[in-house]
Chains A and B, each alone.
Chain A
Amino acid sequence: MAAGVAAWLPFARAAAIGWMPVANCPMPLAPTEKNKRQDELIILNVSGRRFQTWRTTLERYPDTLLGSTEKEFFFNEDTKEYFFDRDPEVFRCILNFYRTGKLHYPRYECISAYDEELAFYGILPEIIGDCCYEEYKDRKRENAERLMDDNDSENNQEGSMPSLNLRQTMWRAFENPHTSTLALVFYYVTGFFIAVSVITNVVETVPCGTVPGNKELPCGERYAVAFFCLDTACVMIFTVEYLMRLFAAPSRYRFMRSVMSIIDVVAIMPYYIGLVMTNNEDVSGAFVTLRVFRVFRIFKFSRHSQGLRILGYTLKSCASELGFLLFSLTMAIIIFATVMFYAEKGSSASKFTSIPASFWYTIVTMTTLGYGDMVPKTIAGKIFGSICSLSGVLVIALPVPVIVSNFSRIYHQNQRADKRRAQKKARLARIRVAKTGSSSAYLHSKRNGLLNAALELTGSSDDEQHISKSTSLIESQHHHLLHCLEKTTNHEFIDEQLFEQNCMDNSMQNYPSTRSPSLSSNNGGSTSCCSRRNKKTTHLPNSNVPATRLRSMQELSTIHIQCSEQPSLTTSRSSLNMKSEDGLRPNCKTSHLTTAIITIPTPPALTPEGESSPHPTTNISTTCSNIVKVSAL
C-alpha cells in the first residue's frame, strides 16, 4: 500500500460504515492503538544540517533505517536529536522520499556515492521514481562498464589467464587480435589475402595487351592459370579461416547465423561451385553471375575495421528514415515523369516515349546530374523540367544533413526504446509484486491471527510471543478494513492457487445441503456465517478422520518444503476445529508449534506479522464451542 495513501486510511475506514447495514455477520473489532502518542517532531541532524519532520512521516516505511527502531542507535541523548554522520545533500532526497513517496535521483550526484547512501538507509534503489529511473540505470550501467573495462585491461596487462582450453583461446584470438602475437599475425595475413583477392578480381577484367588475332583480351583470360592459382590460394586460406572460426565458436549455431559468417560463405562459394561445375555452356551464364559474388570478399574487411561495422549498423538502424526518403523520392519521380510525358507528347521525335522512359529523365534531373541524353523540347516541357530540377535540389539535398544528424539520434533512441520496454516490464512486475504483497500480507496476518487463536485454545501462551510481533498500526488497521469487507459479503479473500484448488475441489465434492437449511432457519442473519462454518465442519466428520489428519500432515509437509506456501485457510481452520473437538491436545500443540516456528523467519519485508486483538479470538472460541455442540449431535 503506498505510504502517501496511508493518510486516507481513516477515510476509507469511516466509509466502511456504508457496509454495516448490509452485512449479516458481526464485524470484527478494530485494532486499538496500544500507545497513542501525540505526533511529534523529530530532529535529524545530518552532519550539522538539521532536518525536522513528523514521526509518523518516517514511520511510513517501517523496513528502512529511519522508519524502524534502528534509528535509536543514532539518538543523541544530550541534544535529543538523531545524529547521522553522512552526506546532507543525499539525505535531502531520502527525506523527500518519506514525505512524497517518490525517490528521486539527483543528476549531479555520483552514482556509487548515492548507492552507498541508499544502502545505509535501507532503501532499495528499485523504488526510484519513473522520472529519474532511466537516468539512474544509465549512469549505473556506464559505471559498471567502466569498471569492467578497467578490469579487463588490467587482466590483459597481467598476462596469462588461467588455463583455457584450446577452443576458448582460439576464439579469444579471433575476436581480439591483440591478445597474442600469433593472433596478430593471423589477422594481418588474412587481411593481406583479402586485399589480394579483391585486387585480382579487379585486375582480371583489365584488358592487357593483344594476342595475335587482334582481339583485346582481359588479363584474366590471358594469364588464366596464374589468376586461377591466386584464386585457389586465397580461397584455401579463407576456407581454413572459416573452419577454424567454426570450430572455436562457443555457440556454433549462433555463429553460423551471424552476418560475418554468411559473408564468408558467400565469398568462397563461387569458387567451389565453379570447381564442381564443368565447362558446360548452358550453365556458364549462371556461373559468370556467381563470380559477381566474389566481390563480397571486400566485406570481410569489416572484421578488420571498426568504422565499417559502425556504418553498417547505423545504416541498418536508419533504414526507416532511408526508406521514407526513397518513398518520397519515388512519389516525386512518378509525378514529374507523368507531367513531363504529357507535356512532351506534342514534340516530334521526342525521347519521352512512355512514362517509364521519362523516369530516367526525372531521376537524372532531380539529382542534378543532368546527362543531357534526354531533353524536353516544348515550352511546357522546359517549364516543368526546371521545376523538376529545382524541387530535386530541395527533395534530395535537404534531408541529407537531417539524416546524418538523425543517425546518432535514432541510434540512441532505438536503444532507449528497448531499454524503456524492458524497464516497463520490470516496472509492471514490481507493481504486481507490491500488489500481491499487500494482499498476501493480509492473508498472512489472518493466518497468524488464527494461529494466535489456536494457541490460546491450547493454552500455550509462551508461543504466542513468538508469533505476535509488533506490526505497524496502519497495517493492522488496513487488515481490519479488509476483514470487515469479508464479513459484509460473507466471502473470504484467498490467493490464486487456493482459488484454483477450490474450484477443482468443488467440482468433486458436494456439500451436504440437507443440514444448512435447518441451521440457518434457527437464528436470523447474525448466525448465517456461523452456519456456513458449521457447514464446513459438519462436512468433515462425514469424511474419514485419517483423511483430515493426512491433510494436516500434508499441510506440515508443504510448510516444510515451501516456506512461502501457505496452507489453505479453510483446512487450517477446520483442522483446528477438528483437533479441538478430538481433544488431541498434544498433536494440536505440536502441529501449531511447528508452523509457528517456521513462519517466523519467512515473512519478507512487505508482510509484517499480523497481530490480532484479543476479542476476535473469543469470538472464534465461542463459535468453536458452538460447532462442537452441533457435531456432537
Chain B
Amino acid sequence: MLTLEWESEGLQTVGIVVIIFASLKLLHLLGLIDFSEDSVEDEMEIATVRHRPEALELLEAQSKFTKKELQILYRGFKNECPSGIVNEETFKEIYSQFFPQGDSTTYAHFLFNAFDTDHNGSVSFEDFIMGLSILLRGTVQEKLNWAFNLYDINKDGYITKEEMLDIMKAIYDMMGKCTYPVLKEDTPRQHVETFFQKMDKNKDGVVTIDEFIESCQKDENIMRSMQLFENVI
C-alpha cells in the first residue's frame, strides 16, 4: 500500500540520519576530526628564565671595572631587565629609545650579535660587562678588535664590501628621513668605497684584522675618537 511504502521511506530517512550521526561520533572518538574550532590551547611555556650573575668579586677580577661601577651598572641593568637577561627584542626596544628619528633595529641587531659572544640569543650581565669593559677600559687594540668583530657579520675574519654595506645602511637608517643634506640612495655605498679605499691596503676586496688595525692606527681622528668615551661610567 502506498502509505506503507511511504512510511518505510520515512523510517529509511530516520535510519540514514542516525547512521550519519553515529559515524561522525565514531570519527570524533577516534580523534580524526575535531568538532570544536578552537583546539586545546597550547600550554604557553612562559619560559621564565631567571639569570643570576656571577659574584661581584669574580666580575671585578674579570673586568676592568671597580666594585662601585659594577654596582651602578647592575642596578641599571636589573631595573630594565628584571629577569637578568636581555633578549634581542628588548635590546632593540631599548636602543631605539635613543634614536627617535630613525630606525635603529638593524644596527641594534648587529650590536646584539657583537655583545652576545656565546651566541645563545640573549645577553646576560656578564656578556654586558665583558663588552663594556673592552669598550670603556680596554686598550686601543682591544677596542679596534671589538669594532672589527662588529663589522664582520659572519665572523670569518674578513670584512667584505657587502658586510660593510649592511653595516653602513644600518647606521644611516638610524638617521631617519629628515636630514641635511638629503640622504641619497648611494650615500652608504659611497661611504663604503671611501672606507675600503682607506682600509684595504692590498686592494683584494676584503679587509683583514691586521689591515684594519694598521689603517686605524695611522688615522689620527680615529685614534682620538677611540678615547672619547673613557669617562662614560
Contacts and interface: CB of A to CB of B under 8 A. Distances in A.
Partners in one complex: yes
A380 B13 contact: yes
A394 interface: no
A8 B100 contact: no
A493 B229 contact: no
Contact of B180 (A5, A13, A18, A491): A491
Interface in B156-215: 167-168, 171-172, 174-183, 187, 191, 194-195, 198-199, 212
A498 B180 CA distance: 9
Given A493-B179, A494-B178, A17 B195 contact: no
Contacts of A496: 178
A524 B220 CA distance: 11
Interface residues of A, number: 75
Nearest to A345: B6
Given A14-B136, A17-B226, A27-B225, A22 B191 contact: yes
A574 B172 CA distance: 25
Contact of B132 (A7, A14, A24, A342): A14
A503 B182 contact: yes
Interface in A148-164: none
Given A22-B195, A380-B11, A39 B222 contact: no
B232 A10 contact: yes
Given A5-B80, A11-B128, A22-B195, A438 B9 contact: no
Interface string B4-23: 01110111011001000000
A481 interface: yes
Given A21-B144, A380-B11, A485-B174, A26 B225 contact: yes
A489 B104 CA distance: 14
A524 B219 CA distance: 10
A18 B147 contact: yes
B85 interface: no
A14 B172 contact: no
Interface residues of B, number: 72
A562 interface: no
Interface in A341-382: 342-348, 378-381
A130 to B, nearest CB: 16
Contacts of B5: 346
A54 to B, nearest CB: 8
B111 A346 contact: no
B180 A492 contact: yes
A256 interface: no
Interface string A513-538: 00000000000111000001000000
Interface in B109-168: 111, 114, 128, 131-132, 135-136, 143-144, 146-147, 150-151, 167-168
B140 to A, nearest CB: 10
Interface stretch (A29-37, A112-120, A215-223): A29-37
A176 B90 CA distance: 57
Contact of A493 (B79, B171, B178): B178
Given A7-B76, A346-B9, A21 B222 contact: yes
Contacts of A344: 10
Contact of A33 (B101, B147, B177, B231): B231
B36 interface: no
B225 A23 contact: yes
A30 B80 contact: no
A13 B228 CA distance: 10
B233 to A, nearest CB: 6
Contact of B171 (A4, A348, A488): A488
A12 interface: yes
A481 B99 CA distance: 9
Contact of A12 (B75, B95, B228): B95
A14 B147 contact: no
B48 interface: no
Nearest to B213: A21
A499 interface: yes
Given A7-B75, A27-B228, A491-B181, A343 B10 contact: yes
A344 B3 CA distance: 11
B70 to A, nearest CB: 12
Contacts of A503: 182
B175 A17 contact: no
B175 A346 contact: no
A128 interface: no
Contact of A15 (B76, B111, B144): B111
Q: Among A39, A346, A348, A569, which residue has the most Cβ atoms of chain B within 10 A?
A: A346
A18 B114 contact: yes
Given A23-B221, A346-B6, A379-B10, A438 B72 contact: no
Interface in A479-508: 481-482, 484-486, 488-489, 491-496, 498-499, 502-503, 506
26 contacts: A4-B80, A8-B98, A10-B232, A10-B233, A11-B132, A13-B232, A14-B132, A17-B147, A20-B228, A21-B199, A22-B167, A22-B171, A27-B224, A30-B231, A347-B6, A380-B11, A383-B14, A478-B98, A481-B98, A491-B172, A491-B183, A499-B177, A499-B179, A525-B198, A526-B221, A532-B181
Given A4-B80, A489-B175, 9 more contacts: A15-B111, A23-B221, A24-B221, A27-B228, A345-B9, A379-B11, A380-B14, A491-B179, A525-B194
Interface of B: 2-3, 5-7, 9-11, 13-14, 17, 72-73, 75-77, 79-80, 94-95, 97-101, 111, 114, 128, 131-132, 135-136, 143-144, 146-147, 150-151, 167-168, 171-172, 174-183, 187, 191, 194-195, 198-199, 212, 216, 219-222, 224-226, 228-229, 231-233
The 8 closest A-B pairs by CB, nearest first: A346-B6, A7-B76, A380-B10, A499-B178, A14-B135, A491-B179, A27-B225, A435-B100
